[in-house]
Structure 1
């Protein structure tokens, strides 16, 4: 007996043989992928939703094969037991391949096949590597191809992961809405093109942030339905080779039951095997959300600019000292970080677009790049919104007197008074204010254009910020 036989097992594939650690549940094909692809440092184990999704799909396929009499009960039970343990995250440390890989996801598919096979063998009371009893390809991958398994699992992983995303978008919108109620009666000056515009309330401004985020909850939810159309059962190129009639629907029915997600068969499995359009559209919705978050973050930076020499209409909660040289300086680090996350999501979207275009003929081999970038975008946005809400938005305060001072001294106020003064008189007052530096209110009083009582009535928040 060889000295290392107690700690190693010999496995063989198309290209030859290799010693595999007996502690490993993955096998020779996974080991080859680990040796070949040392690229991003992002391991499959860091993407638990994708591992769970792969296990769900393998379980569904085994159930379908068993119903068609192709896989006996003993092997089926072993596969289902192994898949269930993986779904429960008991074996995440066995998925060590790089997320970026050649082969259209074959390495990921073989990783899950080999881990399920070896967990299943132990369940059957056998040693790892005894593939003649439960084979990664013959049994675990029966009636399947990477080309229908991987796309299906990627879609499922996104649907699983987006639950956290939608929760954080909703909570962030709620936080802005709470602030809008708190700031409802604070009059301020709106600005267009960074120039003085017309009166509004700080509450209206914050409500607009909530409203725009709520739109994205609906958009992402609706767009994600595109991901429920899958090519499972199409195998290699969508023709369903190596399956029995009815297998695909049986597998999809089992997947729907295990995930509580209503998957449907694509209308054209050949088209669905190569088209990445659903991912492109979904990524675009993430980009849209990222752009909105960055715009909001930049608005808050502008509104809090100061504290002495800027707008300073709101106060962002101080989170850390802002300078190694300027004493007392505190920077808007949370909004700055949100914008950086948004820029990365935009970069991910470009990579997804390029990968989607790069498919040739009946397959897109670049899907692993699509998968990692969409999942990374969801993670970044989810974390950014949680940080934004808990470390910034919830603790924002308003400088109501500063808001009113800026409004009273702004030329924008004359627009609100235009219906009462008339356009010619209002224009004259605005010009005088611009030249003299005096306030609109003082000039109106000096020229007896309106009484104090009239001004007090006109300048009420509800009259200044909505139709008469």
Structure 2
């Protein structure tokens, strides 16, 4: 491999000749071997959008020569079109405050811009990654802003997946509306409900959880771009912040607004932690639904067997014909991952000191990982599991008729104690409540029918 020699504040660094990154990135990639994964595509887009917006603001405020500012904008547009994505080589977990990734972005944009100027990569005497691409910025305000933008961009792709699931479950609620079944509390028989009402409640829970996520995302629309190192806007020209955030909102198509308290935006990660907890709460609801489906589908002989599940693949490598609730189990594992990610975010959110929280890359990885899992798997869960569920009407009806708990419906007429005696007798003899009540002439069939309705 051929190399070139780039320089930074620490000295000379050998860089692959064709690489668009520079000395800082060259040093950083030797240090941060954590996940083996490069940074998220939405983080790359968010950072390049920020650099472009900063260049526009610097031109308009007279902070940078128009020729140099314009070539930075052109370089950003080239990258946003999809080129040079492989040059963002810093892993998703890297240096505190994401300085390594910020410099990776500065260097790639700088070298693309240098080629536009007819210069060679690394000829930073003509255009510099710090002095020009990073002008009026710090990692401390660009990375938190990029976090918000990346999360919001990912959320745009996640919400349709959640809506798809709510629609699928709501459709099943209507389909199952006439199927009566025994309810359960404490995993024990309880008063009857309908299979449809159970699914309608699932849809309500998911709708509430989704709405909470959307509400939490509104806090992410407030960004601290322009706060630079400690939130006081040092080294920014007058008017820069307003222009930069306005430009960023336009190019990202997000409703971004300037956070009034810039120090808050750098030292506190409330908005990210709040969003993460809302995603976790959705996972708790999804987990409960997946658990219920697994229980209702258990069997087919020795379990509840109240619903049938579609076979997406053979359930066992040794037991022929076995069908497992594999997609519900996968959903459980997705939810466990989201809950763990939120724990990581919570710990990172309280780990900042004074004017800066440096745990930003870890927080962002966790949140994007959670929303990635949702947007990737929830549509599969909807189409290949929920849409294919069927009701075992015969089993549902048998459970209602055989369960002594329906004596509860007679209690207002015959009293609690007499009902409890009938419950125990039903369990002991195997006779249904209807059979006991009619044989003992406690109530007529007509009276029983009226109470059971």
Considering the TM-score relative to the shorter chain, is it more than 0.5?
Answer: yes
| Counterpart Cα distance in 1 of 2:426 and 2:286 | 37
Aligned partner (choices 179, 183, 199) of residue 206 of structure 1: 199
Match of 1:27 in 2: 22
Query: Is the aligned partner of 1:370 residue 2:363?
Result: yes
| Counterpart Cα distance in 1 of 2:354 and 2:348 | 14
Query: Is the aligned partner of 1:152 residue 2:160?
Result: no
Query: Is the aligned partner of 1:426 residue 2:416?
Result: no
Alpha-carbon offset, residue 330 of structure 1: 2.1
Alpha-carbon offset, residue 103 of structure 1: 3.3
Alpha-carbon offset, residue 422 of structure 1: 4.5
Query: Is the aligned partner of 1:317 residue 2:310?
Result: yes
Alpha-carbon offset, residue 83 of structure 1: 1.5
Match of 1:52 in 2: 45
SS state of the match for residue 105, structure 1? helix
SS state of the match for residue 190, structure 1? strand
Structure 1: gaps (5+ residues): 464-468
Structure 2: gaps (5+ residues): none
| Counterpart Cα distance in 2 of 1:123 and 1:450 | 92
| Counterpart Cα distance in 1 of 2:343 and 2:430 | 49
Write the deviation string for residues 274-299 of structure 1: whole angstroms up to 9, x where unpaired.
Answer: 11111111111111111111111111
Give 1:354-433 correspondences, 5 Å limit: 354-433=347-426
| Counterpart Cα distance in 1 of 2:279 and 2:199 | 22
Alpha-carbon offset, residue 218 of structure 1: 0.8
Write the deviation string for residues 42-85 of structure 1: whole angstroms up to 9, x where unpaired.
Answer: 211xx111111101111111111010012223222222222223
Write the deviation string for residues 238-262 of structure 1: whole angstroms up to 9, x where unpaired.
Answer: 1111111221111111112222322
Match of 1:443 in 2: 436
Give 1:53-202 correspondences, 5 Å limit: 53-202=46-195
Match of 2:332 in 1: 339
Write the deviation string for residues 117-139 of structure 1: whole angstroms up to 9, x where unpaired.
Answer: 11112222332222222211111
Aligned partner (choices 271, 278, 282) of residue 278 of structure 1: 271
Is the 8 Å Cα contact of residues 61 and 238 (structure 2) preserved in structure 1?
Answer: no
Is the 8 Å Cα contact of residues 223 and 281 (structure 1) preserved in structure 2?
Answer: yes
Query: Is the aligned partner of 1:36 residue 2:37?
Result: no
Alpha-carbon offset, residue 424 of structure 1: 4.7
Q: TM-score, normalised by structure 2?
A: 0.96
User: What is the total number of aligned residue pairs between the two structures?
Assistant: 453
| Counterpart Cα distance in 2 of 1:10 and 1:414 | 85
Is the 8 Å Cα contact of residues 199 and 416 (structure 1) preserved in structure 2?
Answer: no
Q: TM-score, normalised by structure 1?
A: 0.93
Alpha-carbon offset, residue 425 of structure 1: 4.3
